[in-house]
Chain A
Amino acid sequence: DAGITQSPRHKVTETGTPVTLRCHQTENHRYMYWYRQDPGHGLRLIHYSYGVKDTDKGEVSDGYSVSRSKTEDFLLTLESATSSQTSVYFCAISEAGGVSEQYFGPGTRLTVT
C-alpha cells in the first residue's frame, strides 16, 4: 500500500471552530488531493495540489482552505466548521496527475455538532 496517512482519524468539533486535517505521504508524489464523501454524493474534490505551494480549487471548495509547504504534507482547514461539513474526508496522492492512478488514505471521519 502507498505510504499515506491521515490525522486525526476521527474528530468531533463544535460549529464555528476551526479544524485542520493533515495528510502525510512518504511516496514523494507531486499531486495531492482532498475529497469529501457523503451518502448520495460519492466522492467530491475539495482542493488539490500539483506541487509545493501550488494548489487549486475543486468542485466543493467553499469553506475550505489548503496549504502545502512541503512535498509530504497537505493540510485541509475548515475555517469555521458547520454541520454541513460533517463528512468523511479522504486524501489521495498521484505521481503524474492527469488520469494517473490515485492512492487514497484511510479517511478522517469529522462530525460537527
Chain B
Amino acid sequence: LAKTTQPISMDSYEGQEVNITCSHNNIATNDYITWYQQFPSQGPRFIIQGYKTKVTNEVASLFIPADRKSSTLSLPRVSLSDTAVYYCLVGDDSSNTGKLIFGQGTTLQVKP
C-alpha cells in the first residue's frame, strides 16, 4: 500500500476554510484516496473518498490533481467541533481484504 505523508498538526480559526494536503508519491493505478476523522476517545469516521479530480459531499471536498501524487481535503468554514485528527489513506479497491494503513494523521485545532 502506498505510504502517505501529511502535516502533523494545523491550527485554524472558526469560520475559516481549512485545507489539509496529503502526499502519496507512489500511488498505484488501482488506489483510491480516503480520509477519516477521529475525535478524542472515539473510533475514526469516514469523511470522503475519491479517485481523481474533485469529490464533494455535505461535509468536505477532496481535490486530486491529474498526477494523483497528492490530495487535499478541504473543510469549509470550520467550527470548534471540527477539532480532530484527520487521516489520509491510500488503498487498492481490487484487494478483497480491505486492509487499510493509517499514518499518524494531522491534528487540527480550531480556535475561537
Inter-chain CA distance A35–B99, complex, in Å, is 11
Interfacial chain B residues near A100, Cβ < 8 Å = 98
A59 and B101: CB pair below 8 A? yes
Q: Is B49 an interface residue (CB 8 A)?
A: yes
Q: Would A43 and B95 be within 8 Å (CB), given that A59-B101, A99-B49 are in contact? A: no
Chain A contacts of B95 at CB under 8 A? 97-99
> Which chain A residues in 17-64 approach chain B with CB under 8 Å?
31, 33, 35, 40-45, 48, 50, 56, 58-59
CB distance from A77 to the nearest CB of B (A): 20
Check if B100 sits within 8 Å of A102, measured CB to CB.
Answer: yes
At the interface, yes or no: A74 with Cβ under 8 Å from chain B?
Answer: no
Inter-chain contact B46/A48, CB cutoff 8 Å: no
Please indicate the chain A residues that have their CB under 8 angstroms from the CB of B43 in the complex: 90, 92, 104-107
Q: How does the 8 Å CB contact mask read for A79-106 relative to B, with 1 for contact and 0 for none?
A: 0000000000010101011111111111
A102 touches B104 (CB 8 A): no
Report which of A45, A50, A59, A107 forms a contact with B41, defined as CB distance below 8 A: A107
The main secondary structure of chain B at its interface with chain A is loop
Which residue on chain A has the smallest CB distance to residue B89?
A: A99
A sample of 16 cross-chain residue pairs with beta-carbon separation below 8 angstroms, ordered by A number, consists of A31-B97, A40-B104, A42-B103, A42-B105, A43-B102, A48-B99, A56-B97, A58-B99, A96-B98, A98-B94, A99-B34, A99-B89, A99-B91, A99-B93, A102-B100, A106-B42
Residues on A lying within 8 angstroms of B by beta carbon are 31, 33, 35, 40-45, 48, 50, 56, 58-59, 90, 92, 94, 96-107
Interface residues of B (CB under 8 A from A): 32, 34, 41-46, 49, 87, 89, 91-105
